[in-house]
Structure formats: C-alpha cells, structure tokens
Structure 1
Amino acid sequence: MTDAPPDPTDPASDLETLVPVWLTVPDVAERLGLRLADVRRLVEDRELLSHRVGERRVVAVPEGFLGDDGPLHALKGTFTVLADGGMSDEEVIRWLHTPDETLPVPGTPLDAIRAGFKTEVRKRAMEEAF
C-alpha cells in the first residue's frame, strides 16, 4: 500500500469532493436516533446509498439523502429508476449531485427533489437511464 495522494482523475476520488457532506454509518445512526444495524438495513434496502470514502475507506452516506426523520422518501424510487437503467450506486450518487441548470430550481437533481420537484427529476432520471 502506498501513501500516494489520491489521483484527481479517479472517479471515486472526484465523487468524494462532489458530495458536500458525507456521514458515516455511526453519524447517521446518531442523527436519526437509530441503531447501527438499522442504518445498515436502510442501506441494504436501498433507502440510502453509500460509498466508501476517506483514507480509511469508511462507509458513508451523502447527508443530503436525509430528512429530519430519516431518508428522503422521494429518493428510493429515483434510486430504482436509475439503477434499473444500468447505473451503479456510485453513478447514481454522482448524478444526483451534479449541477443541472435545466431543472426547475437551480442546483442539482437532489436539490430539486428536496424542493418538491420529484416528478420532474424522475422524468429526467428515466431519460438519463434509458
């Protein structure tokens, strides 16, 4: 194992910087008042998507995927549409965090979902995925 800095051309490294805030599984558990096993189940059930981040490659979830009381309900269907279209979890996370100026609100598809434009985002997801 080398101590070389992350390769900026590595798509996984780029994903880490594209997502503004990552929360580890223990962070999600604490924030939502859940057991670690419950958070892992949310990831297993694809209510949340995770990615390995940082030097230690810990499992983490984009903070934007969470609402006050748990995962954003609108995301699960969007995850499914994009995955059914052949996107990996990493690609789904990237797509949701990539700015798109053609959306009804400025920002990313995730911003649009949070602003209540789930239908528009899913329509885009279907176009993107197929």
Structure 2
Amino acid sequence: MSEPISAPTDRSGPAGPAGWLTLPDVAERLEVNVTRVHRMIREGQLIAVPRDGVRRVPTELVANHTVLKHLPGILTLLRDAGYDDEEIVGWLYQPDETLPGTPAAALGGDRAREVKRRAQALGF
C-alpha cells in the first residue's frame, strides 16, 4: 500500500531515520513540556512509533526548535489514505531517487511540495 506514485528504480527498502528521539527529547528540542508533545502527536502534528518499547520520533522531523513545516499536512494526507503510523514512517523513509533521497529528507528542502503532491495522490 505504501508505494509512491512514481516508481523509482531503487526500491531496496526503507532507509530509516538517522536517529530517534524520545518524547522528553522532543520536548527539550521544541522547548515545550512533554505534555505538549503528547498533544501534538494526538492532534496529528507529529508522529511517534514504538521502538524498543518506547514511543520515539524520527530525529529529522524535528529541526531548529520546530516540527518540519509540511509534516502535519503530510501526516493527515497519509492517514486519510489509510496508512497507520508504522506505514507512514516507512513511506517517509523509503528511498526515492526521483526526489532524490527520501520523502522525509525532501520535506526539509525545496522538494516539499512534490512530497505533498505524492501523498495527496495516494488517497485516490
């Protein structure tokens, strides 16, 4: 279900995040309390998945004391397309040489609109 619209030639599997942050670590980076981080996850502004029994957030999604600008919209689009949180993380970190890199990496740069377009197309 998590195939992108365009089919890149290298589909060797998800690369995965460079690292993971615990929710207290996210709170520290965003300079908010951990309760606010829990609310952000509940409201779909941020995503956390269990790793080693602890909910964690991919490091790249939290930058410069903020969540990546387009992330909440991408999360909404993918959830509307029927993706669960594990599938969303898999989609965000699926290597795609047409971006280049991964959708997560592209969200932090000038390819964010393309990532959003691809996520929108998954709902149809």
Assess same fold via TM > 0.5. Answer: yes
Between the two proteins, the alignment pairs up a number of residues equal to 112
| Greater fraction of residues in helix | 1
Q: 1:23 corresponds to which residue?
A: 21
Structure 1 consecutive aligned stretches of length 4 or more whose deviation exceeds 6 Å? none
Specify every segment of 5 or more residues in structure 2 that has no aligned partner in the other structure, as ranges. 1-12
Which stretch has the larger CA shift, 21-30 or 110-119?
110-119
Q: Choose 1 or 2 for highest CA Rg.
A: 1
Q: 1:9 corresponds to which residue?
A: none
> Residue deviations 1:72-122, cap 9 Å, x none?
12111111111111111111111011110112xx21011111112221111
1:62 to 58, 62, 82: 58
**Amino acid of the residue matched to residue 50 of structure 2?**
R
What is the SS of the residue equivalent to 2:70?
Answer: helix
Specify every segment of 5 or more residues in structure 1 that has no aligned partner in the other structure, as ranges. 1-13
2:82 to 82, 86, 99: 86
Find out whether 1:114 has 2:114 as its counterpart: no
Find out whether 1:95 has 2:91 as its counterpart: yes
User: Higher RCO, 1 or 2 (CA under 8 Å, sep at least 6)?
Assistant: 2
Aligned mates of 1:84, 1:128 — CA distance in 2 = 9
Alpha-carbon RMSD across the aligned residues, in angstroms, is 1.7
Percent of residue pairs identical: 38
Q: 1:127 corresponds to which residue?
A: 121
Aligned mates of 2:45, 2:84 — CA distance in 1 = 15
Q: 1:34 corresponds to which residue?
A: 32
TM-score of the superposition, structure 1-length normalised? 0.79
